[in-house]
A and B are shown apart, each in its own frame.
Chain A
Amino acid sequence: MSEVVITDPRYASAGKPSGRLLEVEDLRVEFRTRDGVAKVINGVTYHVNAGETLAVLGESGSGKSVTAQAIMGILDTPPGFVTGGQIRFHGDDMLKMSAEQRRRIRGNGIAMVFQDALSALNPVFTVGFQIAEQFRVRQGLSRGDAKKRAIEMLDQVKIPHARQRVNEYPHQFSGGMRQRVMIAMSLALDPEVLIADEPTTALDVTVQAQIMDLLGELQRERQMGLILITHDLGVVADVADRIAVMYAGRIVEEATVYELYAKPAHPYTIGLLQSIPRLDEKGQELRTIKGLPPNLMRIPSGCPFHPRCPMRVDDICIPNVPPLLQIGATRASACHFAEDLVNRD
């Protein structure tokens, strides 16, 4: 690397080959605790381009949020350590950047919406302060101008009476409104990539839809890359372009939404899809995936899903780790029998 100081990554890396906006490649993260080392991320690879929505799907503990934290550079260290891989933004590996370079990317390059807005917003400052702060610190705006911009942001996320509410504290907002504030805050510096970490999990069902619609709308308007982290297959269908399914710190399947729903290429995905309650199967018992997610301190040998897999072939699945292989133009799977799954009828 040369000594070039990257002031704005949008321009600094123009002309780099891959052309992908944000790429994670073979990322590895472990948590070193008193009780042992947990390998939380074991070689995650995914990417997102401008104007595209990638949904990252998985149970809790699959590593989807930790990947996001590693991208943002907000892993709790210790215990969390990135032990390998690359996170490239406009082609530049962020893991090799100085702390200051990474900081400059946060907010206006990549921004994040957190799950629980109540704890993610600082309780002792007004929402206006917390949004305006970014304009003041990052863009050098005056107090008055920054506040005007903050009100505009609240307007954009459709918070009524923005002019008055800008002076209120987070606890004075309802759950849905608070998540809108969170979104307004993350979009303030007009990021190229937005990571939304289970943005609707803490909300009522009716409000969930509104927030998802809002996110989708803003993403289209701004042509952002959106990484939507969720454990809810229902949320994904309408919004996402592509889906990456995570299990035990790995991507086990990646496909377009249509492909994934029509013909899942990994037994875990099949299990997830089957566990959605369906109207046409009313009265039948809900199908679930047997067993528990693996202990990340003792990940099973071979395919980490093998203990729970209904299609397991012991000789193949227990000794061999299935790599994530391309099985079509737009899809990949980490199952030894991916081809069979796709080709069966």
Chain B
Amino acid sequence: MGRYVLRRLLQLIPVFFGTTFLIYYLVWAVPGDPFAGKCGERPCPQSYVDFMTEKFNLDKPIIVQYGTYMKNLLQGDFGQTFGGRQISDLIADAYPNTIKLAIVALVIEAVIGLTAGVITGLRRNGFLDNLVLVSTLFMIALPIFVLGFLLQKWLGVDLGIVKPTVSNPPSIGELIMPGFVLGSASMAYIARLARTSIAENRRSDYVRTAIAKGLPMKRVVGVHLLRNSLIPVVTYLGTDLGALMGGAIVTEGIFNINGIGRQVYRAIVTKEGATVVSIVVILVLVYLISNLLVDLLYAALDPRIRYE
């Protein structure tokens, strides 16, 4: 096990550098003058350009820039925005909100998706099953921004049940609607995953054995069937946490949540290269580590899997 973790960590290193370099290159090296549009209508004063160029090594070859940047980053220095704000402060402000949102989304999708999936997996081809299947197709088909607007308009504006946008920092209650929107597609996937998995395992021999042992149905389903069927669902949830944090750009934009997604979008629009790269680096790291954890989780849940 220890060796497996070590090997996986070693594999992560090239991927981590590859991904971050790719982003760095896209942000800094491909066309364009990083100062275009930074100083209002007029071009930036030369003194400012010189100052920034030296500070961010913009005149050196891209690989040197990247190296310097990474060296600083690994020492915890994310650099500054053009306006002189510490990027680490910016992230520290925004990140907790994104984490909160992702966790709310995860809880909502897990609870609703699992309930729907388990119920329909146990009673297939009933009215409820078809209802759930149709709604999961809809959930998958609804792009986040459409669902976001519809709920915002309907629940927020028309019915006035919830506030259409959230305060800063947002409370958990305010994040329920955005979390639902963010997790909607995953919710549908979880429902289907759980349904398939339950339906498959329901006919398995070990469930039949459990019944033959004279266990009450509640225990057959609750212990034997669920424990096995949940393995793929739990691992999906793990991977999804990483994806939710990176995918919150649209949701955070619609509901005006001061999170990492909105910050990165703003940084892209205003060409705050350093901010973009910093945030992407963090997101990539979170994504890679959560995938590793999922693999380990998988081994913990299924004793047949042993990593060498």
Contact = CB atoms under 8 A, between A and B. Distances in A.
Direct contact of A and B (CB under 8 A): yes
Contacts of B303: 123-124, 169, 171
B228 A105 contact: no
B216 to A, nearest CB: 7
Secondary structure at the A interface, as helix, strand, loop or mixed, is mixed
B224 A137 contact: no
Contacts of A72: 211-212
A119 B207 CA distance: 10
B214 interface: yes
Interface in B200-229: 203-206, 208-217, 219, 223-224, 227-228
Interface residues of A, number: 31
B206 A105 contact: no
Contacts of B215: 103, 107, 133-134, 137-138
Interface in A25-77: 72-74, 76
Contact of B209 (A104, A121, A169): A121
A112 B206 contact: no
B205 A120 contact: yes
Nearest to A119: B205
Contacts of B231: 124
Interface residues of B, number: 24
Given A105-B214, A137-B216, A138-B214, A124 B205 contact: no
B130 to A, nearest CB: 18
B304 interface: yes
B50 interface: no
A116 B228 contact: no
B206 A185 contact: no
A134 B210 CA distance: 10
Contacts of A116: 205
A94 to B, nearest CB: 13
B301 interface: yes
B302 interface: yes
Contact of B302 (A107, A120, A124, A133): A124
Contact of A104 (B214, B223, B227): B214
A108 interface: yes
A119 B214 contact: no
A108 B302 CA distance: 30
B205 A114 contact: yes
Nearest to A99: B217
B203 A120 contact: no
Contact of B228 (A107, A114, A123, A137): A123
A134 B228 CA distance: 19
Contacts of B213: 106-107, 111, 133-134, 185
B211 A120 contact: no
A76 B205 contact: no
B242 to A, nearest CB: 25
B210 A122 contact: yes
A125 interface: yes
A189 interface: yes
B203 to A, nearest CB: 6
A183 to B, nearest CB: 12
A114 to B, nearest CB: 6
A189 B227 CA distance: 24
Nearest to B219: A137
Interface of B: 203-206, 208-217, 219, 223-224, 227-228, 231, 301-304
Question: Nearest 3 A-B pairs (CB), nearest first?
Answer: A107-B214, A106-B214, A119-B205
